[in-house]
């Protein structure tokens, strides 16, 4: 109980100057996070440099909750690469492996077919109705790096918003009551 009393006291003793400096430091945290994210977008050339795996279709390589780092370069797409792609009419991008590539002689355009390592068949069932191939513009990036488990944080937060609010509230309180 002593901790709560201390916290209440420290809130009471806040001065205008202190409030301002804390607002500034909070702003610094938020903006630096934004700067890091935007810098990553620039470096990787992908509009979402980090994605969380949501399904088990690439198991045992990638499990639900793993994090993938994406990179989008001008390099042509080749079989075997793990790409993140959007399908028309689907909101959530899919992370699957390229199994077929046909690159046109005259225009250099590519037709790509993907498949999840853990799925029995290829992805034509997931594509838009009647779509046989993915083109370059469907592909958002290719996976280059891998970090396990960390994505669970965002999965839990999107599925249980209450935990998100509690966490944000607690962090906010910590920032407000910190004395340094």
Partner 1 sequence: MHSYGYRANGVLSLSLTILALLCTVASLSGGILNLPPPSAQVEVVNINWFQKHRSGNDEVSLTLNISANLESLFTWNTKQIFVFLAAEYETPKNSLNQVSIWDGIIPSIEQAKFRINTINKYRLADQGNNLRGREFNLTLHWHVMPRTGKMFADKIVMTGYRMPHEYV
CB of 147 to partner 1, least distance (A): 6
The answer to whether 22 contacts partner 1 (rule: CB under 8 A) is no
Cα 85 to Cα 114: distance, rounded to the nearest angstrom: 10
Among 45, 56, 148, 172, binds partner 1 (CB under 8 A): 148
The answer to whether 117 contacts partner 1 (rule: CB under 8 A) is yes
Cα 70 to Cα 37: distance, rounded to the nearest angstrom: 13
33 half-sphere exposure, CB direction, 13 A CA radius? 5
Among 100, 124, 136, 160, binds partner 1 (CB under 8 A): 100
C-alpha pair distances (Å), 135 with each of 42, 75, 83: 23, 14, 12
Among 105, 125, 129, 130, binds partner 1 (CB under 8 A): 105
C-alpha pair distances (Å), 27 with each of 14, 19, 22, 23, 137: 18, 12, 8, 6, 36
CB of 150 to partner 1, least distance (A): 10
Question: For partner 1, which stretch binds (CB under 8 A), given 32-40, 41-49, 73-81, 152-160?
Answer: 73-81
Helices 152-159 and 161-177: crossing angle, nearest 10°? Answer: 110
Question: For partner 1, which stretch binds (CB under 8 A), given 15-23, 39-47, 87-95, 101-109?
Answer: 101-109
Cα 172 to Cα 149: distance, rounded to the nearest angstrom: 25
- In the complex, the residues that contact partner 1 under the rule CB under 8 A are 3, 6, 60-61, 78-82, 97, 99-105, 108, 111, 117, 122, 143-148, 174, 179
């Amino acid at each position: 109980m002593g901790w709560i009393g201390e916290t209440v006291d420290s809130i009471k003793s806040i001065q205008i100057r202190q409030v301002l400096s804390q607002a500034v430091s909070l702003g610094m945290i938020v903006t630096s996070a934004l700067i890091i994210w935007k810098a990553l977008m620039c470096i990787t050339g992908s509009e979402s440099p980090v994605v969380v795996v949501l399904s088990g279709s690439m198991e045992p390589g990638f499990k639900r909750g793993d994090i993938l780092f994406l990179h989008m370069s001008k390099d042509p797409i080749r079989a075997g690469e793990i790409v993140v792609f959007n399908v028309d009419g689907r909101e959530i991008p899919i992370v699957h492996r390229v199994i077929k590539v046909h690159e046109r002689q005259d225009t250099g355009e590519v037709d790509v077919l993907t498949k999840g390592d853990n799925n029995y068949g290829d992805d034509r069932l997931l594509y838009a109705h009647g779509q046989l191939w993915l083109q370059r513009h469907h592909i958002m990036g290719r996976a280059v790096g891998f970090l396990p488990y960390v994505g669970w944080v965002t999965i839990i937060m999107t599925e249980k918003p209450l935990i998100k609010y509690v966490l944000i509230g607690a962090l906010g309180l910590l920032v407000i009551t910190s004395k340094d």
